[in-house]
Amino acid sequence: MTRSKPAADPKGCCAAVYGSDLVALLLGDAYHPGGSSLTRRLAARLALTGGERVLDVASGRGTSALLLASEYGCTVTGVDLAGPNVEAATRVARSVGLADQVRFRRGDAERLAVDSHSVEVVVCECAFCTFPDKPTAAGELARVLVPGGQLGLADVVAVPDRLPPELTGLGAWIACVADARPLDEYVALLAGAGLTTTHTERNDSAVTEMIDRIEARLTVLRMTAADQAVALGLDFDRAPAVLAAARAAVADGVLGYAILTARKPGTSPG
């Protein structure tokens, strides 16, 4: 299967965009479909317990990491490629009194500066699909887990060859679409890293709900902060076509969202 990639570096591009104020304007605190509700569902599937060491890969501005710490009692390290995200997340952790339980640092999912066999759980939400070298990233996620440790993945799933043109190219890398894969391909990638998938679940309606939220925010932004949004790079004229294409792709089963859990072989910790 042939997949075209943009001339620009997708990793650097995604880091710059997801660390920008534009994404916050459009998406709010949760940068992924399903928001905190789907994070809780993923946590339930992982059966998280207090005191577990969790690594949140591509942690954004820290919403999920802080939720896992405050609601499940986990000790969480968030790693993100975008420096502004790390800074913003660190500020929030301090402001809510979780700085001793949650820490954030800049890092690359394909070269995690994390000791091998050092965490019980790895969580990665709406980011694996943007990693250019997925086999290497999968290997890194597996490497840092203790024997018996678990991975919780939530991500965009897609049939690449059927994506409409509005959802391909550089803009789609930013939208977490262009290199999204079918769910069974994620399972295969993780298997190649030695992880056994234990559960998969489609949540395509979460994408539609996110499209609804973005459309509503676009209306508000056009009325209240149009100049600011344009200055940050928002194209009001192009956005409706992209959102309409995404909505149609979900309806056709070409685009969706899923959660997946996997386990590393070995004796479960504890």
DSSP result, 83-102: HHHHHHHHHHHHHTT-TTTE
Higher pLDDT, 233 or 119: 119
CA angle 215, 34, 105 (to 5 degrees): 105
The alpha carbons of the chain give a radius of gyration, in whole angstroms, of 18
Give the CATH number, domain containing residue 156.
3.40.50.150
Tell me the pLDDT of the chain averaged across its residues.
86
Stretch 208-237: mean pLDDT:
86
Q: What value does the mean pLDDT take over residues 90-111? A: 96
- Sign of the torsion angle spanned by Cα atoms 233, 95, 104, 147: negative
Please, which pLDDT band fits residue 24 given cuts at 50, 70 and 90?
Answer: low
Residues 155-184 have a mean pLDDT of 77
Count of domains observed in the chain: 1
Q: How confident is the model at residue 21 (pLDDT cuts 50, 70, 90)?
A: low
Q: How confident is the model at residue 170 (pLDDT cuts 50, 70, 90)?
A: very low
4 assigned to some structural domain = no
Residue 5 covered by a domain? no
Instruction: Flag whether 3 is in a domain.
Output: no
**Residue 15 covered by a domain:** yes
pTM of the model: 0.86
Q: Is 1 part of a structural domain of the chain? A: no
pLDDT at 10 > cutoff 80? no
In percent, how much of the chain has pLDDT > 70?
A: 84
Asked whether residue 24 is assigned to any structural domain, the reply reads yes
185 falls within a domain: yes
CA angle 20, 23, 24 (to 5 degrees): 90
Of 180 and 263, which is predicted with more confidence? 263
269 within domain boundaries: no
Residue 28 has a pLDDT of 61
Query: Do 183 and 260 contact (CB within 8 A), yes or no?
Result: yes
Query: Which domain range does residue 102 map to?
Result: 10-263
